[in-house]
Structure 1
Amino acid sequence: MKFSDAEWAVMNAVWTQPPASARDVLERTQPDTAWAYSTVRTMLARLVEKGALSVRKRANTSLYEPLVTRGGARRAALRSLLNNAFDGTVGPLIQHMVADEKLSPRDRETITRMLAEAEKEAGRAE
């Protein structure tokens, strides 16, 4: 499932603390956007149509809950980026990230550990 930047903002607001009303989403996105309440309602309705959110009524309020996990959405977005921008190969993506992004010492340590574990797994499989 693909999300626009605005849809990512809405989904992140819902994932933060579900269920969420349109007012909750507006408040959670307000520091970074100048959206009107009606804009948030429209985006929520579109995400329901896409199958990313469910909606239920409680009194006069519509409450939205995610039908997709944040991890699943991230994996799908990364797979799309990998296929479209890096011809489906991980190496150039990682090289780009290491060369162009600021990696903290913790990030470098995590990547090094993950590569060492992958190397071990590859050795066992052979």
Structure 2
Amino acid sequence: MKLTDTEWQIMNCLWERYPATARGISERLPKEVKWAYTTIRTLLSRLVDKGAVREYKQGITSQYEPVLKQEDAQRSAFKTLLNQAFDGAFGPMLHFLVNDQSLTDTQRQALAEALEAQSKKKGDSHD
């Protein structure tokens, strides 16, 4: 499921803590985001229509909770990025990540360890 940038912000609030009301989400958005209450309700309505969020009434108040799992949304976004920026090729993307100057040594080490663990898990090690 593809999410817009604004939908990601709403979903991040919901993944952090749910159920939540539109007002509760408004209070948890970053300070630089100054959306009207009606804008948040519209975004939530779109997310409900997409099947990413479930709405239920508690009295007269609408409560929202995520249906879409964060990991599934991340996987979908990653595949989109991989296809758009690297023509679906994992090798060039990995090369970019390893050589990216904005990665810290700790992040590079974590990436190397994750690759090593995956290699051992799949039995791909040629040691």
- Per the TM superposition, whether the score is higher than 0.5 is yes
Q: Secondary structure at the match of 2:64?
A: strand
- Distance (whole Å) between structure 2 residues aligned to residue 98 and residue 25 of structure 1: 36
Give CA deviations for 1:33-67 in whole Å, capped at 9, x if unaligned.
11000000000000000000000000121000100
Report the number of matched residues.
125
Equivalent in the alignment of 1:41: 41
Equivalent in the alignment of 2:114: 114
Q: Greater shift after overlay, 111-120 or 29-38?
A: 111-120
RMSD: 1.8
Question: What's the % identity of the aligned pairs?
Answer: 41
Give CA deviations for 1:68-121 in whole Å, capped at 9, x if unaligned.
111110001101111222111111112223333522232112111122223333
Equivalent in the alignment of 2:69: 69
Equivalent in the alignment of 1:123: 124
- Distance (whole Å) between structure 1 residues aligned to residue 101 and residue 77 of structure 2: 19
- Distance (whole Å) between structure 2 residues aligned to residue 50 and residue 34 of structure 1: 24
Unaligned runs of 5+ in 2: none
Residue 122 of structure 1, CA deviation: 4.4
- Distance (whole Å) between structure 2 residues aligned to residue 15 and residue 3 of structure 1: 14
- Distance (whole Å) between structure 2 residues aligned to residue 77 and residue 108 of structure 1: 22
Q: Greater shift after overlay, 78-87 or 115-124?
A: 115-124
Q: Secondary structure at the match of 2:112?
A: helix
- Distance (whole Å) between structure 2 residues aligned to residue 22 and residue 90 of structure 1: 39
- Distance (whole Å) between structure 2 residues aligned to residue 104 and residue 88 of structure 1: 25
Q: Secondary structure at the match of 2:124?
A: helix
Instruction: Output the TM-score relative to the length of structure 1.
Output: 0.89
- Distance (whole Å) between structure 1 residues aligned to residue 32 and residue 92 of structure 2: 32
Residue 31 of structure 1, CA deviation: 0.9
Unaligned runs of 5+ in 1: none
Q: Which amino acid aligns with 2:112?
A: T
